[in-house]
Amino acid sequence: MSAIRELKDRMTGIQSTMKITKAMYMISSTKMNKAKQNLANTEPYFHSLQKVILTILRSLPENFHHPYLDEREYIDQDNQRRAILCVTGDKGLAGAYNHNVLKMTEQMLKGFKSYKLYMVGEVGRQYFIRRHIPIEESFLYTAQNPTLPTARSIASKMLELFENQKIDELYIVYTRMENATQFVPDIDQLLPLYRLNRDVEVGGDTTMHYQLEPNPKVVLNTVIPDYLAGYIYSCLVESYAAEHFARMQAMDSANKNGEDLLAQLSLQYNRQRQAQITQEITEVAAGAKARKQQLEKKRRRATCK
């Protein structure tokens, strides 16, 4: 009897858990669709701005120098100060989403002698704190609410550090949506800007040259902060969409595993219950037979008397 009660309690617990996982699946589905829509709404602006940046860079006069374009070749590679912006989620239960980004970031840090780590996401912050890896700054409440003003604030801070030569390179580690059903962790170098745009391909005619007015420096001071903010924003939104897609997959897998486990437990429960009923029937039949034999003996004794 105790085994049957234990199986029933386990089945009830699994059913309660599945209600939560199904609700989380629906919530993540809604948030992922919203994030994808936000990304689709901003992509035309971002790609147009990217095309303009490429054309501006090709229109710059020779030997032109600007702080955002400084490749710091005069600094030895081993002594260059790198800044890494790592984007994770604020919550777990998203499969390998956080793990992949964190491992990629950790592996990257091992190759740098001097670095500054900036975190987006509570999961990543707690991860590096537990491993005693210093974090320069954490941008709280950004992972679950990626907005363009937040991206502008991050970009402004990174540009200021680069301009003041407190960092020599800037990288962002995030999760990119490879397609509608796959996401992959990725690393992009954001600064210096020449390296960022060296292998970028965009549609349209990028062979034309602009005459930059009032002068190239003013143009770059205006365009580059918007470009970097747009790039960071797209990374945040892609990571946000990938997180909820990963959570959808994790919850869907949990639901399927729960259904399989329920089927197994139901089979065990039915077998146990059937065995119990068979045992009860057997006991009743044996008791009836024993009672019948007892009554038969009493009848014979009465007859003999």
- pLDDT score of 208: 62
For 127-171, what is each residue's pLDDT tens digit? Answer: 999 999 999 999 988 888 899 899 999 999 999 999 888 999 999
Residue 212 contacts residue 53 (beta carbons within 8 Å): no
CA–CA separation, 161 and 58 (whole Å):
25
Is the predicted pLDDT of residue 195 greater than 60, yes or no? no
Alpha-carbon distances of 228 from 3, 64, 256, rounded to whole Å: 62, 20, 42
Instruction: Return the ∠ at Cα 219 (arms to 152 and 62), rounded to 5°.
Output: 125
CATH assignment of 21-255? Answer: 3.40.1380.10
Model confidence, pTM: 0.82
1 pLDDT tier (thresholds 50, 70, 90) = low
More confident residue, 200 or 240: 240
Residue 174 contacts residue 238 (beta carbons within 8 Å): yes
Is the predicted pLDDT of residue 117 greater than 80, yes or no? yes
Rounded mean pLDDT of 4-32?
91
Query: 34: how many CB neighbours lie within 10 A of its CB?
Result: 14
- How does DSSP classify residue 80? P
Instruction: For residue 59, give the nearest of 160, 234, 209, 236 by alpha carbon.
Output: 209
For 40-90, what is each residue's pLDDT tens digit? Answer: 887 787 778 778 788 888 878 877 888 888 888 778 777 889 999 999 999
CA trace torsion 159, 162, 163, 165 (10° rounding): 160
Percentage of the residues of the chain whose pLDDT score is greater than 70? 94
Percentage of the residues of the chain whose pLDDT score is greater than 90? 44
199 pLDDT tier (thresholds 50, 70, 90) = very low
Q: Give the start-to-end residue ranges of the domains of the chain.
A: 21-255
Rounded mean pLDDT of 194-217?
60
- pLDDT score of 206: 47
- pLDDT score of 109: 93
- How does DSSP classify residue 112? -
- pLDDT score of 42: 79
- pLDDT score of 118: 97
